[in-house]
Amino acid sequence: MKFLFDDESFSFETLRATGYIAYAGADLGEVLVTCRQIPETDEDAWSTQWAATAARIEGIGRDALAAGHRVSAREALLRASNYYRAADFYRRDDPEHDPESARLAKAAQQTFADAAPLLDTPTRALNIPYEDTTLPAYLFLVDDSGTPRPTVLFHGGFDSILEESYFAIAVGALRRGYNVLAFDGPGQGAPLRAGLRFRPDWETVVTPALDLARSLPEVDNDKIALIGMSMGGYLAARAAAYEHRLAACVLYDGIYDLHEPFAAIAAEAASTPGGLDAVIARNTGASWVVRNGKWTFGLPTFAEVVEATKAYTMAGITDRITCPTLVLDAENDQFFRGQPQRVFDELTCEKELIFFREDEGAGEHCHEGALFLFHQRTFDWLDTILST
């Protein structure tokens, strides 16, 4: 689905940012005036223009907050957080030493943190004990009654951040009576910037998050579901294969083998005159994958990243998942086409596969731009599973 840009990566990331309009994370006019100032494939202009829009909208939020306009402040700060996230997306040449990348990431976190107390439902920032440190989390509650409720554990994937989880899953869950404990793990958000890199054995991340969730009086311990987004579709499946206290799991979307798309870029580079440099010079998406991969896996070369991704596979362990599992698939998925079906075929637990089509506006990776349809199908399934 081409959206505002011909470049596939720019189009997808614009659709992603714009899709959060469903839950007050964007406004269409702001997106349009931002994107019309960004030339195709110009990553510097992308960052500059999204950052300028974010700062302008943050200013509106700060002024509204100072004047006591709670709703206006909340709405502006939420949009600013999403726009700051977008502004930082392509700044991956050397993010560890890029002060602008660090500033944008911090601004995305801070604007959301300042919006959180203004939400209509209770929100608490928490820290999940993890090895010798902690992982940041938000607990989104339906209300302040203390009533134990079905609860979603949620994490993202290769590039998402904790603050994005509010738009991606939390609002839709809260409206349906689910609490949400969302968190960043190694390789994601603030933990990544603190030096924690991805690891394939994601049960070591989900288990302490689940332990914390089960200790909260607002959580019904018999009705905790895990949802993983994008690369999180592998991470959640891997965790569910070894963590059997989950009542359900949703792979959003299903991933069987993370190595395949990375190996495809390496193979293209091997067959292209000029090698990897030539591939990334002409392909924005491949360039971003290469750079983001080196950062999130903590490896100096893309060849080492490709090798590391071999460990991220469900081969031989899919049948260890025992909880009911929903696998989501997207017709036009540019990263993992065909993989959700492979995961589904090897599952031996109670299972369902839902295919999202292009002609219903939901065919992109993770159904960006179709949040309402994604939430309707996912939570209707969870309602049925957790009511039994």
Q: Which CA distances in Å does 380 have to 19, 108, 180, 372?
A: 21, 31, 16, 12
Cis before 253? omega within 30: yes
Residues 341, 342, 345, 349: is their CA dihedral positive or negative? negative
d(CA 136, CA 185): 8
Tell me the mean pLDDT in the region 79-97.
97
Structure tokens, 180: 């949400």
If pLDDT is split at 50, 70 and 90, which confidence band does 275 have? very high
Closest residue by Cα to residue 374 from 209, 198, 227: 227
DSSP-derived 3-state class of residue 189? helix
The letter for the amino acid at 33 is: V
In this prediction, residue 110 carries a pLDDT of: 98
Average pLDDT, the chain: 97
Active site residue 230: yes
pLDDT (average), residues 185-207: 98
Q: At what angle do helices 70-88 and 99-115 cross, to 10 degrees?
A: 150
Kindly tell me if the per-residue pLDDT of 388 is higher than 90.
no
Burial of 388 (C-beta count, 10 Å sphere; 0-12/13-18/19+)? exposed
pLDDT for residue 172: 98
Confidence of residue 168 (pLDDT cuts 50, 70, 90): very high
pLDDT surpasses 80 at 324: yes
For 216-248, how does the pLDDT look when each residue is reduced to its tens digit (9 = 90+)? 999 999 999 999 999 999 999 999 999 999 999
Task: Tell me the CA end-to-end span of the chain in Å, nearest whole number.
Answer: 38
113 vs 119: CA distance, rounded Å: 11
Check if the beta carbon of residue 15 is closer than 8 Å to that of residue 367. Answer: no
Whole-angstrom Cα distance, residue 371 to residue 166? 12
Which pLDDT score, from 0 to 100, does residue 326 have? 98
Output the pLDDT for position 193: 97
Tokens found for residue 30: 């702001």
**pTM, 2 dp:** 0.97
Instruction: Give the alpha-carbon dihedral of 245, 347, 378, 174, to 10 degrees.
Output: 10
Which pLDDT does position 1 carry in this prediction?
A: 86
Contacts of 91 by beta carbon, 8 Å cutoff, 6+ apart? 43, 47, 98, 100, 101, 104
Cα angle, residue 5 at apex, residues 337 and 356 outer, rounded to 5°: 30
Q: Which is the catalytic residue, given 11, 230, 287, 387?
A: 230
Beta strands in the chain (DSSP E): 123-130, 133-140, 149-155, 179-183, 219-229, 248-252, 325-330, 351-356
102-160 residue pLDDT tens: 999 999 999 999 999 999 999 999 999 999 999 999 999 999 999 999 999 999 999 99
> By the 8 A CB rule, do 208 and 258 touch?
no
Question: Could you say which DSSP state residue 357 is in?
Answer: P
> How far is it, in rounded angstroms, from Cα 295 to Cα 290?
9
Question: Region 10-27: what's the mean pLDDT?
Answer: 98
pLDDT of residue 163: 98
Burial 323-346 (b: 16+ CB within 10 A, else e): bbbbbbbbbebebbeebbebbbeb
User: Tokens at residue 270, please?
Assistant: 């091997």
| CB 181, CB 209: distance < 8 Å | yes
DSSP code at position 14: H
Does residue 101 surpass a pLDDT of 90?
A: yes
Q: Are 340 and 254 in contact (CB under 8 A)?
A: yes
Instruction: Say how far apart CA 297 and CA 220 lie, in whole Å.
Output: 35
Task: State the number of CA atoms in the 13 A half-sphere of 8 facing the CB.
Answer: 13
CB atoms within 10 A of CB 19: 24
